[in-house]
Structures are given as structure tokens and as C-alpha cells.
Amino acid sequence: MQIFKRLSYDTVANLFIQDTSFNRIFVFPLKRDMANQIKCPNCGVYNTNEDYCTNCGTLLSYQKRRELAFAQEEKDRKKRAQIQKETSPSFYEKNKNHRFLVVRIFVKIIHSIWMAFMAIGMFIAWLVSAIAA
């Protein structure tokens, strides 16, 4: 503990600031925020450290805008996938809960044959690649 007593507060501060990780986390963000004046694309008012325009409420933060766009994209993609699933369910999905038992059994048999066929196909593909290698 002797060493800490000998160091003045300034020395400690300097040590921290010289440390690059400290710089990255604390000093550079501060510098960046100080120069973070964004002109509103909608009304032309300059805003300092605001995510939304103080005058008209337009979203200013580039990062935020990108995040929102990304979230929207994700939502659209999910919706499209949902629609796709609803409009064209697979033969198996459509008939596995059919009201006639015969149809249900028939569909299950076809489905298991298909699965077995795929498994065999994959096995042959693996075998060919194994032999080739």
C-alpha cells in the first residue's frame, strides 16, 4: 500500500489515461460525444448529444436508425416466413391431422418412406465422399 500513498492523484489519473483500454472505454467516447453535433435532416436544427431532434423529434442517431432498420428487416423476414408457411404448408403438415384415419396413416407411411429415402440418399452421398476421400 506504500506505493499508492506516494502516488499523487494526478499521477494515478495519468497512468489510467495512458492505458489504452481505459482510453478506449472512457476518454475517446467522451471526446466523440463532445463533437457529436448532428444537423437534423428534417428541419436543419443542430442538436448536441440527442438521439431525437429537439425541434421536430426526427431520429438523429445513426446507430439508432440502423438498429431500428435492422429490427424492421428482421420483423419483415419473420412475417414473410410465416406467410410462406401458411400459404404453402408441406404435404405432410397439411394432411397429418386429416379427419380420416386412412389418410392420416397413408400420409405417415409416405412421410416415413420419404424420410428413409432421404436417409439412404444422405448415406450414399456420405459413402461416395468417403470413398473419394
The footprint of Zn ion on this chain (CB under 5 A) covers a number of residues equal to: 7
| Contacts for 42 with CB less than 8 Å, ≥ 6 apart | 53, 56, 58
Q: Is 43 in the site for Zn ion (CB under 5 A)?
A: yes
Is residue 53 part of the contact set for Zn ion (CB under 5 A)? Answer: yes
Separation in Å, CA 86 to CA 81, 82, 83, 95? 9, 6, 5, 14
Given a contact cutoff of 8 angstroms between Cβ atoms, the answer to whether 60 and 50 are in contact is yes
Q: Which of 23, 36, 52, 58 binds Zn ion (CB under 5 A)?
A: 58
- 56, 69, 110, 125: which one contacts Zn ion (CB under 5 A)? 56
Provide the grid cell at 100.
Answer: 380420416
Q: Which is nearer to Zn ion, 27 or 59 (CB)?
A: 59
**Residue 40 beta carbon to Zn ion: minimum distance, rounded to whole angstroms:** 3
- CB 111, min distance to Zn ion, A: 58
> Cα dist. 20→24, 31, 93, 127 in Å?
6, 15, 57, 54
Residue type, 102: V
The answer to whether residue 60 forms part of the interface with Zn ion (CB under 5 A) is no
User: Minimum Å distance from CB 73 to Zn ion?
Assistant: 25
Q: Which residues bind Zn ion (CB under 5 A)?
A: 40, 42-43, 53, 55-56, 58
